[in-house]
Amino acid sequence: MTDTTETSALPPETSQRRSLGERFPLATLILQRLGLSALLLFAVSVLIFGGVEALPGDFATTYLGQSATPQAVANIRADLGLDRPIVTRYFEWLGGAVQGDFGNSWASGNSVSEQIGRRLGNSLFLAFFAAVVSVPLAVGLGMLAVFYRDRVPDKIINIVSLAAISLPEFFIGYLLILFFAVNMRIATFPATVYDSMGFIDRLQTIALPAATLVFVVLAHMMRMTRAAILSVMSSAYMESAELKGLSAMRAIIKHAAPNAIAPIVNVVALNLAYLVVGVVVVEVVFVYPGMGQYMVDAVTVRDMPVVQACGLIFAAFYIILNMVADIIAIVANPRLRHPR
């Protein structure tokens, strides 16, 4: 009698929410991740706009030079709207960004959205081919290291991966330039006419930047793949599979790797985000006409609309890729879909 009374005392809305959450746990979790990602992106936009506004230096002074009169500086600031309250400018900027309009560049007067559309395509082109090489290679080497665990191939893979992790991107890039472009003369650099090149020519010009990115992300993904598969290999059902006569490689491919997919996907997503977000150094080293180079050029002249737009787009890529990895992990692991 008491249980019935307590159950009937629950508000119908609460009972309905619980039943929907229990009936559609996957959809509920996905909607939660989408909401958290949107909230996080909004918070990041506040930090980006406020942080850029707090940076030392002033575009008007940089543009007019140190000999500019205070009146001339004030006029430039008024033309750019910098004399208005920061909150007003932030919400105007955010409203335009939601619609894909980041305003005009202070330095060139061109549309930031148009420039970013071209530069972002170049960065994604570079990141895509780096991912096509690095992801399968990392997973394959990780499985190979598990198969030859504590033997010579495993030790060689670990030593090379540790060396790759220890070297910064610019150092790897300059080494590749020295050997392949200067000494051996079998590689070229991206040229100013890059956008008018054909597909094959583009592949040739991104060979060194893509190889640098592959070296940077390959080791981390490979080591995490190895650790995730080794963790699964110690499970009881893996021991049973081996006792039934299943070969080691087949056990790794058929049973261990699918059950280790969640941590592998997470580390792959983080490194894919790095391929898009962390290309700034690589693009500067190779003078590659991508988002990173565009952002660095804008920072040198205090072109704040460009810096803010690039920062927001980088943050959006990072958040979206992590959200996708989280959702894939939920789909791959049934235990995450059911509340306790």
Alpha-helical (H) ranges within the chain are: 2-8, 12-23, 25-54, 59-64, 70-80, 86-98, 112-147, 152-166, 169-176, 199-205, 207-233, 236-243, 248-251, 257-259, 261-277, 280-285, 291-300, 304-332
Given pLDDT bands bounded at 50, 70 and 90, which one contains residue 5?
A: very low
**More confident site: 59 or 289:** 289
| Main-chain dihedrals φ then ψ at residue 109, nearest 5 degrees | 80, 0
Average pLDDT score over the chain: 79
Given pLDDT bands bounded at 50, 70 and 90, which one contains residue 42?
A: very high
Using CA atoms, how far residue 196 sits from 125, 149, 201, in Å, is: 14, 48, 10
Domain boundaries defined on the chain: 118-301
0.85 exceeded by pTM: no
pLDDT tens digits, one per residue of 99-148:
888 888 887 878 888 888 888 888 888 888 988 998 889 888 888 888 88
| Region 118-301: CATH code | 1.10.3720.10
Distance CA 250, CA 147 (A): 10
In the prediction, which pLDDT does 47 show? 92
pLDDT tens digits, one per residue of 237-285:
666 766 666 676 777 777 676 777 777 777 888 888 888 877 888 888 8
Share above pLDDT 90 across residues of the chain, in percent, rounded to a whole number: 5
